[in-house]
Chains A and B, each alone.
Chain A
Amino acid sequence: MSSGATIGSVGEGPARTRSAQIKAGLLIFVNPGGALKGALSQLPIHVALGVSGIAFGLFFLQTGLDLLRVGHQTLPRFAMTGNVGVVVLCLLGVLYGTLGVVFLGAIAWVATRALGATLTLEATVRALALGYCPALVYAVFGLVMNVAFGWNTALAFGVTGVLWAIGPMIATLREMLGGRIEPSVVLATILGGLTLFGWAFLGT
């Protein structure tokens, strides 16, 4: 009995590689966040948190730029105005995307453990943080539009990017919960709500 050879594998290598490359290329256009997440999934947790930290940092930066453009206080909850407020808001976003995501990951870990999951806290936080890859893609595009064309992009690009993270979040939770989709959807709704309304509380 053959120990490792796959039936039909001889001669199919280049064709399968080309097909896989075409599919990967299409995936980048159809789901750039997913493609990015796939490439980063083996990296350490601090890199994963770097993704979410930068995503939220750029999101909060756009919020500050939008508020500055319409003449509002840029950090109303702390009575800050102008460019200082924008910078502080951006740094607040980085903290939100790192410590905040760790907090969300802890909530997800506790909830899924109660439902029988066995994934570690570190793996949970890494998976959730990498789920914000779409948010990072949207945040980068939004910042370019904001700076180059003067568009108000926090809602259209920032919030959209955060909403796009709900899909990967549900996929992660579902994997942790053995394929159960209903508790995954409920938990993702709670976590998504905490994320969005936390931004609303801090930045608007």
Chain B
Amino acid sequence: MASPPPSSAPVPAPASAVAALPHWTVPVLAFAAFGGLIGWRVGASPVSTVLGVAIGAAFAFAGAFVLTTALSMANPHLERPAVREAAAKGFLLILPFAILALAAEILLGWKASQVFSSAGLMTAFGAVGVEVSRRGGGKLRSMLVPTATAFLLSTAWVMLSTIAAANWKR
């Protein structure tokens, strides 16, 4: 008797520890770092640093909510948990930028956290779009929605940082 043909069912993605965390965890940690760097640079005090951490964390939490909501609205056929799972994986890509920003500022004295945060935001949001399209989201929508959202949030972050820097200096 001939053996059954090999299964052609798609191989599920490997299990990920990331899936156990809320999807906003990583961007909150990353932007807490970015905010802390800016707070330390403009105020040079623990108070300004902690305030920067808090603002960065709040900003990232809001940004994660905005992106997942926008992607869910653009892909109504997808379950919200699937979008959040995609976001949890995609947001991981912001970690290298946060770590490198910390290393650059602390070890090399670079004042360039804005460059790292902007690039990290665009990369991570783009990765979320890729993850959403892998789970059945529309390819074009999953590319355009994160890119537009990342551009707006990146601009907002730069403006927020500038306003904070101007007020702390007074």
Contact = CB atoms under 8 A, between A and B. Distances in A.
Contact of A180 (B14, B116, B123, B139): B14
B1 interface: no
B96 A26 contact: no
Nearest to B12: A179
Contact of A192 (B14, B96, B115): B96
A159 to B, nearest CB: 6
B50 interface: no
A200 B16 CA distance: 35
B115 A197 contact: no
A182 B20 CA distance: 13
Contact of A160 (B14, B119, B144): B119
Of the listed residues B16, B108, B123, B127, the one surrounded by the most CB atoms of chain A closer than 10 A to its CB is B123
B147 interface: yes
A17 B89 CA distance: 32
A178 B14 contact: yes
Nearest to B94: A185
Contact of B143 (A30, A178, A188, A197): A30
Interface string A106-129: 000000000000000000000000
B92 interface: yes
Given A166-B123, A181-B16, A193-B103, A23 B144 contact: no
Contacts of B126: 31, 167
B145 to A, nearest CB: 11
Contact of A166 (B96, B104, B140): B96
Interface of B: 13-14, 16-18, 89, 92-93, 95-97, 99-100, 103-104, 107-108, 110, 112, 115-116, 118-120, 122-123, 126-127, 139-140, 143-144, 147
29 contacts: A26-B143, A30-B144, A31-B126, A155-B110, A155-B112, A159-B115, A160-B115, A160-B119, A163-B115, A163-B116, A163-B119, A163-B120, A164-B123, A166-B119, A167-B93, A170-B96, A170-B127, A179-B14, A181-B16, A181-B18, A181-B92, A188-B96, A189-B96, A189-B99, A193-B99, A193-B100, A196-B100, A197-B104, A200-B110
